[in-house]
Amino acid sequence: MAGRISVDEAEKKLKLYSIEEIGEKVKFDLSREVRRGVPEIVFAEHKDADVLKSIIERVLEKNGRVIVSRLREDQFAIIDEFAERYDVRVNHVGRIAVVKKHGVGTEECEGKVGIVTAGTADIPLAEEAKVIVEEMGCKTVTVYDAGIACFMRTVNAVKKLVEEQVDVVIVIAGMEGALPSVIASLLDVPVIGVPASKGYGLGGGGIAALLSMLQACPLGLLVVNIDNSVGAAVAAAMIARRVGKFKITRQEKSCSRQQTKQL
């Protein structure tokens, strides 16, 4: 066997691989990681136990790893069952878990993502984002409880982000959602605002924060939907990974010049 197949056969296999039917209710896109470099992320919250187990097993079989987000308290036991056969990382605060086949690693990059919260109530969203960003190979810098109610906290957060030379920042805020605007006005990297549903009153549930971020003056501030820390994390990691490639190229060129000078 030469290990070769025809173009038509290859095309057929790729099409078959793209969509996987699990039972009668689930049609899963299993080639997303191949196309985009984004690990499969399963939204667990509204799935029953049997469906969730089936999806996790099939994704692991095909891709070797899966991220399970928004786990309910009763669903952590399902993840624990996989710990007997797979490598499992669970973050209870972020309600998220990573399940991998033994030996499946993460391709690390030089990109770095800052993750900032306005208050402690926003930390679960931040922890969810942190797990995803790190699973996509990027480094993270976290600063929690940096809201503008005490502006010195915000200034200190910005100082840390500058010192750490982050490439993109996720900023999570509820209430009036002002923190992303302030941070975006002080940094020279993209800022992704995540409106949090931790609020009350007329604009509660994240509505006021979302509208405030959308109406923000500072350029370079991008906004995702309320509580969409998953979307923010994937976007931030994709930006940071792209920047990381150029960092490596620059380092290689610098080393090459130094070697040339020595010769």
In sequence order, the 6+-apart residues with CB closer than 8 A to the CB of 239 are 111, 167, 168, 190
Q: Which of 100, 121, 152 is the last residue of a domain?
A: 100
Residue 130 and residue 32 share a domain: no
d(CA 156, CA 162): 10
Q: What is the arithmetic mean of pLDDT over 23-40?
A: 72
Q: What is the pLDDT of residue 209?
A: 96
**44, 76, 100 — which closes off a domain?**
100
127 confidence band (pLDDT: 50, 70, 90): very high
Looking at residue 96, its pLDDT comes to: 98
Residue 25 has pLDDT above 70, yes or no: no
Which pLDDT band, with edges at 50, 70 and 90, does 2 fall under?
low
Asked if residue 230 belongs to a domain, the reply is yes
Domain ranges, residue 132? 112-246
Beta strands (DSSP E) in 149-205 are 168-173, 191-195
Please indicate, yes or no, if residue 58 is contained in any of the structural domains.
yes
pLDDT above 60 for 252: no
The mean per-residue pLDDT over the stretch 10-20 comes to 60
Q: Would the pLDDT of 36 be above 70?
A: yes
* pLDDT value of residue 107: 85
Q: What is the model's pLDDT at position 44? A: 96
pLDDT cut 90: percent of the chain above it: 70
pLDDT score, position 4: 80
Cα distance between residue 39 and residue 105, in whole Å = 12
Q: What are phi and psi of 84, to 5 degrees?
A: -70, -25
One domain for residues 81 and 125:
no
The C-alpha R_g of the chain, in whole angstroms, comes to: 21
What is the number of structural domains in the chain? 2
Residues 233-243 pLDDT 10s: 999 999 999 99
What pLDDT does residue 19 have? 60
Say if 182 falls within a structural domain.
yes
Residue 116 lies inside a defined structural domain of this protein: yes
pLDDT, tens digit, for every residue of 164-223?
999 999 999 999 999 999 999 999 999 999 999 988 898 899 999 999 999 999 999 999
CATH of the domain at 71: 3.30.1370
What is the per-residue pLDDT across 39-56, written as a single tens digit (0 to 9) for each? Answer: 999 999 999 999 999 999
